[in-house]
Amino acid sequence: MRICTDTQNAINDRELVHLNCSRLQEIMQESAVDAVFVIAPDNWRYVTGLPVHHCLYFATVNAALLTRELAMPTIFALDFFCVGMKGRAPWFQDVVELPMAGTREALQPLGVGAWPDIIAKKINELQLSSATIAVDPGTPYVIKDRLQERLPKARFLDAAQLLRQARLVKNKEEIKAMRNACISAEIAMEDAFRIIREGVTELEISAAVESSFRIHGAEYPTFQPLIFSGLNPFLGYMNPSSRVIRYGDLVRLDIGCCCDGYNSCFARTVFVGEADRSLKDDYAAVHASLQAGIAATRPGVTNTSIYKVIADTLSERSAGKYTLGWYGGHGLGTGIHEDPMIGATGSVDEVTLEPGMCIAIEPSAIIPDRGWLGLEDNVVVTAMGCEVLTRTRFSLYAQMSGTFAVSAG
């Protein structure tokens, strides 16, 4: 079954865009901003709902301009993509082509040619030549600079805070997409569990994860699957390597994928071998801190208070053996590390949780001579508490025959 066509969580693309743009327009009204220009892939996806080729070199070839008055944004799309976008989303009535010809480095806007003139012309047509326009912080300097030259009466502001605020609380369509991304990631995690044993490599485990994503409907991995075996992550190997899994290794899997434009990111850790009492206790302490963080997640509490619960529980359950550091998780959405960040007071912006916020709770501990033990779940804040979106089993062993397991409940 392809997750992205699952009828239970089928996304209404037009409604998704309508809800997102309406929320952003309310914030624009409050901030006296006339229009918002977006170009970074996460902000583009939030405002348009349209997928793009997931590639670094296509990161800034599509843009959108949302005004306070018009229900749908104007789309500026690389000419190669325009026909497909119009067919997929006919509700966008104003689609402007950005030519590939004449850009010199077509997929990297180091020589964007006619693009600023085209965008500025449309801004003039929309009678925004003297408007206050908030610009995506991901906009390449060459585009922003030339727009300012062509629109000298316009006031350009940083759109970062408006976009952060808009994306903070998810609507019903966004939460459906989050569920799909988590389901696909759960399946991939179980597929990885099936092959973890002595003799396989980190790359083989990563390949199983990515293959599962493709088969089960994910658009793409949110990031290269992180497979941390033994002491490898402490030697600078943050990407999966050809290292062979050995008896006595901890193997941490931190994976995520994109479905319908929204991302999952969750983790499990397994042990290859027979765990001793000390390692079982370490696992139980990290698991208890995760569960405590989930239990503390509800409307009205702050992200920093959740961090404190996680950190205190880890320290208490490990009898002071492990401390959390400043970091305990992050927000999720069209980006992978969004607000609210889960961290210590003074290290993150404090946010009071509301229904619709989606977060990844992520305690971990470095186990001497074993590796990195980390567990992570994705949750959405509800009116009464939170809903756990990732339900993959907790066990120190990848194979179900293992004798030590922890209930996910």
Q: Is pLDDT above 50 for 3?
A: no
Residue 83: its pLDDT value, please?
84
Residue 80: its pLDDT value, please?
80
Higher pLDDT, 255 or 79: 255
Q: Is pLDDT above 70 for 110?
A: no
Q: Is pLDDT above 50 for 221?
A: yes
Mean pLDDT of the chain: 92
Alpha carbon distance 18, 236 (integer Å): 44
Strand, coil or helix: 392: coil
| Closest CA relative to residue 50, chosen from 33, 26, 23, 72 | 72
Residue 1: its pLDDT value, please?
32
Count of all residues that appear for the chain in the document? 409
Residue 345: its pLDDT value, please?
97
How far from chain centre, in Å, is Cα 199?
32
Instruction: Tell the CATH topology of 171-406.
Output: Creatine Amidinohydrolase (3.90.230)
Which phi-psi region, left, alpha or beta, contains residue 370 (left: φ > 0; alpha: ψ -120 to 50)?
alpha
Percent of the chain whose predicted confidence (pLDDT) is above 70: 93
Residue 104: its pLDDT value, please?
65
Q: Which helix (H) or strand (E) holds 318?
A: none
Residue 297: its pLDDT value, please?
98
Backbone φ and ψ of 227, nearest 5°: -115, 105
Burial-class residue 199 by CB neighbours within 10 Å (0-12, 13-18, 19+). exposed
Residue 346: its pLDDT value, please?
97
| CA quadruple 302, 40, 30, 167: dihedral, nearest 10 | -30
The CATH number of domain 3-167 is 3.90.79.10 = no
Q: Determine contact, residues 100/79, Cβ cutoff 8 Å.
A: yes
Mean pLDDT over residues 131-145, rounded? 94
Q: Where are the domains of the chain?
A: 3-167, 171-406
